[in-house]
Amino acid sequence: MKQAGRYAERTVGQEHAICDYEGTSYRARFWEGQGREYEDLAERIALRRLLPPGGRRLVEIGAGYGRLAELYDGYEQVVLLDYAVSALREAQQRLGQANRYRYVAANLYHLPLASQSCDTVVTVRVLHHVADVPAALREIAGILRPGGVYVLEYANKRHVKAIARYLLRRQAWSPFAAEPYEFVRLNFDFHPSWMAEQLTRSGLRVDAGLAASHFRHPLFKRLVPPHTLAAADGFFQQVGAAWKLSPSIFLRTHVQGAGEASAAVFRCPACRSEALQEHPDVVRCAACGRNWPVCEDIYDFRWPRPSDGGENAQPVT
């Protein structure tokens, strides 16, 4: 899991703390050359099994440097959304600035995406940094078209190691308790039943699930090559979903109904209006007058540009 970064201070809405990875190079610090080839491969297996093969628009929230973007080739447009602009710059370096990709810096609790504009939403290694999961799920459900799919991964508190440590009295917190467990500031583990309840309350119905990263222990990773270990994990992902004892759980959910995604891409994260006017260096909201910067093809909806010294210079709550 990601290490919690510094907390965002300047963003639309101040009611939730956010991990800010700006300038930390999550790619270099966590993935490349860090001995996590097995986890990467196992997560790709799970995503390939759960993702719809294609559609008009997919958004990955917490996309970072675009590690998983190659899995989205069946979609006409891919929105890579992250809070850290530096991560999106790395994604641009990997994937280019083609029109098929939109790079968006934004706050998960105030998504700048139009209502019912997405066929598919993906979050991997993101929810474990989210303090208010119900609020985040409501935002995600709102941007999905009728029948749209949300594929998510979350950190499971009821995994084998946690159960063993609890039964041996080597940890005080119970893996069987329903409430989320915050083991480090803005790092949460979730009980499967609790997560299922939050999804249902948000209007998201679970279709399928997989258990992943069964062999995350350093001993397995030292003795077995990553591709072999990932293949073994893939074998157990479906059967393991029945008892959910692995450290990582993947789910495919959907909102009810059927329909096409709306043509609009963005909405103002402050006033929710979709009356936006795109210019080369700014997106202007015709409803509230706020200007959202665009710099080298990255749309920044975290903080409006102070154009007149008035309300645009203040955070939106």
**Domain extents in the chain:** 6-275
Average pLDDT in the 12-30 region? 74
| pLDDT band at residue 10 under the 50/70/90 scheme | very low
Is 60 exceeded by the pLDDT of residue 7? no
pLDDT at residue 184 above 80? yes
CATH code at 6-275: 3.40.50.150
What are the two backbone dihedrals, phi and then psi, of residue 61, each rounded to the nearest 5 degrees? Answer: -90, 130
Q: Confidence class of residue 35 from pLDDT cuts 50, 70 and 90?
A: confident
What mean pLDDT do residues 158-184 have? 96
- pLDDT tens for each residue of 135-156: 999 999 999 999 999 999 999 9
Mean pLDDT lowest for which of 112-121, 155-164, 207-216, 308-317? 308-317
With a cut of 50, say whether residue 310 has pLDDT above it.
no
Q: What is the pLDDT of residues 219-266, one digit of tens each?
A: 999 999 999 999 999 999 999 999 999 999 999 999 999 999 999 999
Mean pLDDT, the chain, integer: 91
Q: Report how far residue 104's alpha carbon sits from residue 80's, in angstroms, rounded to the nearest whole number.
A: 6
Provide the pLDDT for residue 17: 85
Binning pLDDT at 50, 70 and 90, where does residue 5 land?
A: low
> By percentage, how much of the chain surpasses pLDDT 70?
91
The answer, yes or no, to whether residue 9 has pLDDT greater than 80, is no
* pLDDT given at position 31: 81
Q: Mean pLDDT across the stretch 190-218? A: 97
Average pLDDT of the residues in 188-211 = 98
- For residues 269-280, give the mean pLDDT: 95
- The percent of residues in the chain predicted with pLDDT above 90, rounded, is 83
Residue range 81-116, pLDDT digits in tens: 999 999 999 999 999 877 789 999 999 999 999 999
